[in-house]
Amino acid sequence: MSETYIPLSQVNTYVFCPRRFYYESVEGHQVVNEHIEEGKIKHEHVHTAVKDRKKGDKTISRRQYLASDTLGVSGYTDLVEEKNGIPYPVEFKKAGVGNWLNDQVQLCLQGLLLEEKTGVSIPHGYIFYIGSKRRRKVPFDKELREITREYVAEARSLLDSRKIPKPIHDNRCNGCSVRSICLPDEVAYLHELDERPKRIKPALGVDNVLYVDEPGCAIKKTGERILVAKENEVIRDIPLIHLGQVVISGNVNLTTPAMQTLLYEGIPVVFLSAYGRYHGALTPQVSRNSLLRCAQHKVANRPEACLDLSKAFVRGKVANMRMMLQRRKWQSADSTDSALEPLLANIKAIQTMEKRIDKATELSELLGIEGNASAAYFGAFNFMLKSEMGFDFQRRSRRPPADATNALLSFAYSLLTADLISAIQTVGLDPYVGFFHQLKYGKPCLALDLMEEFRPIIADSVVITLINNRRIKPEDFTQSHGGWYLKEHRRKVFYAAYETRKNETITHPLFKYKLTFRRAMELQVRLLAKYLTGEIDQYTPLTVR
C-alpha cells in the first residue's frame, strides 16, 4: 500500500469532480471561495458546539481520527454516535438538503474505517444538513460499499499517473473554487466540445496595487490594515483584504511586521529604483506546483518547442505593433497625405516581417524578424504623438533613456514586468525560465516573453495617452547621468494612468468575451501553463483589433 494517505474529504472531491481532485491533490492548489469559507465556518461551529457526551442510550463523540492502511485513506469524522455497541458516523453538510453520491461515498468510507478500527459491522450512517437541520439515513449496502472502494482505487490511480482528467464542464463548475485555474469552458471550446464561453470568471491574481514612491515614507502594519506614514502622519490606510500588490520606488522603508504580514497574506512587494527601473520583488511562498514547473523546464530544453512558442509571442507583439500604427493611419483625415508616407512604409515593413514569422527555422532568425519589426514600429512611433506636445522621439534607447519619451517607455515596461512576474507566480510557473528570451542569471525570461504581446497595447498606449492628453509635459523630467527620468511628484499621474489602462476592457481574440487587460494577463499565463502540460494544443497570443 502507498505510504500516502488520501484524505477522506479528497475522496469526496474525486467523486464530485476528478479534475478538481487533480488540481487540489496533485498540483496542490488550495483555493478558498465563499462556499468553502461558509462550510468551514459551519463545521467549526459544529466542532466547538458539540461536546462528547451521553444522550439517552447513545454516546456522542466528535472529530475522531480514522486511518486505514488497507484502503490508504485517513481523516476526521464530524461526529460518531454509538448505540448498543455500534458506532454510526455522522457527516455535516452546509446545504439545506441533498442526495449527492460524493457525500454518500465519503460517509460510507468513514463507516469502512470505523469497521476496520472497531471490528464491528456498521449498517448505516447519517448526513446532517445544517441549512435545514435535518438528517438523512444512508444505508451501507453492498452496492455503495463496492462503489466506494472503486472510487478510492480510481483516486489512487490518478495520484500515481498524475494525468489531468478532462473538464467535467457542467453545472458542477458553478461556484467551484478552482474554476479560474481549471478554465473548463475555455478548454472545452478549444477541444471543440462546446461553444465559446460567454464570460470570463473571476481572477485569482493581483487586484488593487499600492504605489509608494515618496522619499521618507514608511509602510507599516496595524491590525488587518497597511499604513503608509511620513513623519508620524498617515498618508494611506488600506485594509489588507483590498490589497493585491505593493510597488515601492526609491527610498521607502518597509517595516518587518508589514513585510511578514504581506508575505503571509500572499501579497508580493515589487522594488523599483528611484528612476523606475525594476530591481526585484519580495514574493510569497513559491507555488507548490512542481509538476507544472517540471513541464516548463522540459519544454525549455527542447529547441523546436521553444521556437514554436517564441513564434506565438512574436506574432502577438508584431500584430499589436502593426495595429497601433494602423489606428494612427485611420485617424488621419486624408490617408493619401504625403506626410504619412513614412508611417505607411513602416506599416508595410511590419507586415512583411509578420509573413516571415512562421517560416523561421531558427531562434536567431526569429530574433532578427522581431528586431526588424520593432525597428519599423519605433521608427514610426513619433506619428502617434501629437507634435505640439513637445516630445520628439527618434529611436528606442534604454540605459539610460535618451529622451523623455524613452523614459516613460522604460518606466511602463518596468511596471509591466512586475505585473507579469506576479501573474506567473500566481499560476505557478518559474518567471526566470523562458523560451524566446534565453536564460541569463537574474533575468525574468518568461515575464519578458509574455510581455511581448502586452507591450504595445498596455505600456506604449499609456505613454501615448499621457503625452497626447498633456498629462505629462517635457518639464516633468529631470536629466541625470546622461539619461532622462520622470520627476517624483509626477509619478502618481503615471501610476494612475497605468492602472486605468489595466482596468479597460477588451474582447479576447479567441473566446470573444469581454475582460480587462489586468485579467487578460493572468488568463494568458494560465493558457500557457495548459499548453506546457499538454492540455491544449497551442498557445494563442492576445491581439487587439
State the CATH number of the domain containing residue 215.
3.100.10.20
Question: Is the pLDDT score of 37 beyond 50?
Answer: no
The residue among 100, 132, 159 that closes a domain is 159
Report the mean per-residue pLDDT for the chain.
85
Question: Is the pLDDT score of 151 beyond 50?
Answer: yes
Strands 79-83 and 73-76, by their bridges, are unpaired
DSSP E strands, 258-387: 269-272, 278-282
Based on the domain organization, do 342 and 431 belong to the same domain?
Answer: yes
Residue 192 lies in a domain: no
CATH of the domain at 469: 1.20.120.920
Based on the domain organization, do 246 and 381 belong to the same domain?
Answer: no
Strands 124-129 and 73-76, by their bridges, are unpaired
Based on the domain organization, do 215 and 252 belong to the same domain?
Answer: yes
Query: What is the CB-side half-sphere exposure of residue 293 using CA atoms within 13 A?
Result: 16
Residue 542 lies in a domain: no
Residue 184 lies in a domain: no
- Rounded Cα distance between 318 and 464, Å, is 18
pLDDT confidence of residue 3:
61
pLDDT confidence of residue 359:
94
Based on the domain organization, do 228 and 148 belong to the same domain?
Answer: no
Based on the domain organization, do 16 and 48 belong to the same domain?
Answer: yes
pLDDT class of 56 with cuts at 50, 70, 90: low
pLDDT class of 168 with cuts at 50, 70, 90: confident
pLDDT, average across residues 42-51: 50
Question: Is the pLDDT score of 487 beyond 90?
Answer: no
CA neighbor of 418 nearest in space, from 272, 528, 524? 272
Question: Is the pLDDT score of 468 beyond 60?
Answer: yes
Question: Is the pLDDT score of 1 beyond 60?
Answer: no
pLDDT confidence of residue 355:
94
Question: Is the pLDDT score of 534 beyond 80?
Answer: yes
Residue 82 lies in a domain: yes
pLDDT, average across residues 108-120: 92
Which of these ranges, 15-19, 271-275, 315-319, 469-473, has the smallest mean pLDDT? 271-275
Helices of type H across 17-70: 18-21, 34-49
Give pLDDT tens digits for 177-218: 888 888 888 888 888 877 888 776 555 555 578 888 788 889
- Rounded Cα distance between 420 and 494, Å, is 18
When divided into structural domains, the chain yields a total of 3
Give pLDDT tens digits for 325-358: 988 877 776 666 667 788 889 999 999 999 999 9
Based on the domain organization, do 110 and 241 belong to the same domain?
Answer: no
pLDDT class of 391 with cuts at 50, 70, 90: confident
pLDDT, average across residues 132-147: 91
CATH of the domain at 38: 3.90.320.10
Based on the domain organization, do 142 and 218 belong to the same domain?
Answer: no
- Rounded Cα distance between 94 and 97, Å, is 9
- Rounded Cα distance between 357 and 350, Å, is 11
pLDDT confidence of residue 335:
62
Residue 175 lies in a domain: no
Supply the range of the domain harboring residue 486.
Answer: 290-532
pLDDT confidence of residue 348:
93
Residue 254 lies in a domain: yes
pLDDT confidence of residue 201:
59
Residue 191 lies in a domain: no
Give pLDDT tens digits for 427-454: 889 999 999 998 877 789 999 999 999 9
Based on the domain organization, do 263 and 294 belong to the same domain?
Answer: no
Exposure string (b/e) for 485-515, b if CB count within 10 Å is 16 or more? bbeeebbeebbebbeebbeeebebebbebeb
Based on the domain organization, do 233 and 307 belong to the same domain?
Answer: no
pLDDT confidence of residue 34:
43
Based on the domain organization, do 219 and 366 belong to the same domain?
Answer: no
Question: Which 8-state DSSP code applies to residue 534?
Answer: T
Residue 338 lies in a domain: yes
Based on the domain organization, do 350 and 237 belong to the same domain?
Answer: no
Based on the domain organization, do 378 and 423 belong to the same domain?
Answer: yes
Grid cell at residue 280? 526585484
| Three-state DSSP state, 139 | strand
